[in-house]
Amino acid sequence: MATGSRNTVRLKTPVRAEDLQQLELGDVVFLEGHVYTAREGIYRKVITEGHKLPEGLTELTNVSFHCSPAASANDDGTFNIGAVTATASFRFGALIPAWFEASDCLLILGKGGMTEEDYRNVFVPRGARYLTTVGYGTGALLGRGIKNVKAVHWLEELGIAQAIWVLEVENFGPFLVDSDGEGRSLFEQHNARLNQRIEGLYEGLKQPALSRMGES
């Protein structure tokens, strides 16, 4: 379904490689099925310390999310999640090759994207893609797409922000496709266009008077 010049795509998890191949830069994606959260605490535990991911997780879904949830516990031991706040994915670029090997992940969700070098060298050979959240302040919007918490792992050890939260989702999004099958980045392409014109915006203006602490 077209939205202006973009397509709206709905994917079921676990995602299939052939479905990901059809994604184009800037497509709007919604997910249905299961995703799980994983960030530095999980990467450290699995990649650095050598622990295996919880049994059955990789069979359930191949979609992981760089985020922390706003979770609260119910009296019966279940949890409610009202919002999920994405964290910047560029911080994990060096760890993604090992993460792919450990998790068989094909789709990573996060904020801000990674570099085209990461996409070309790591994502493309595996047929994996990266989706980014749309702007800031969308945590509550994404929270509406969470049906329930299927499981939580290593909560006492790692805490709410770093634990693995396995989420059943429906109409979960919107996310933007930041990487394509050739390793191009939506963000980097737009940044390159903006940088071509940035000097022209300052042409004819006085030099800025920012001299404190070596500012320029």
Q: Give the global pTM.
A: 0.85
Q: State the amino acid at position 97 in one-letter form.
A: P
Q: What is the mean pLDDT of residues 132-152?
A: 90
So what's the pLDDT on residue 148?
Answer: 95
Give the largest CA-CA distance in the chain.
66
Average pLDDT, rounded, for the chain: 89
Q: What is the mean pLDDT of residues 158-175?
A: 97
Q: Report the DSSP pairing between strands 28-37 and 63-65.
A: parallel
Backbone angles phi and psi of 38, in degrees to 5: -160, 125
Q: Residue 188 is inside which H or E element, if any?
A: helix 186-202
> Is 110 within 8 Å of 132 (Cβ atoms)?
yes
Buried b (16+ CB within 10 A) or exposed e, 148-181: ebebbbebeebebbbbbbbbbbeebbbbbbbbbb
What's the pLDDT tens digit per position in 39-96?
Answer: 999 999 999 999 999 999 999 999 999 999 999 988 998 999 989 999 999 999 999 9
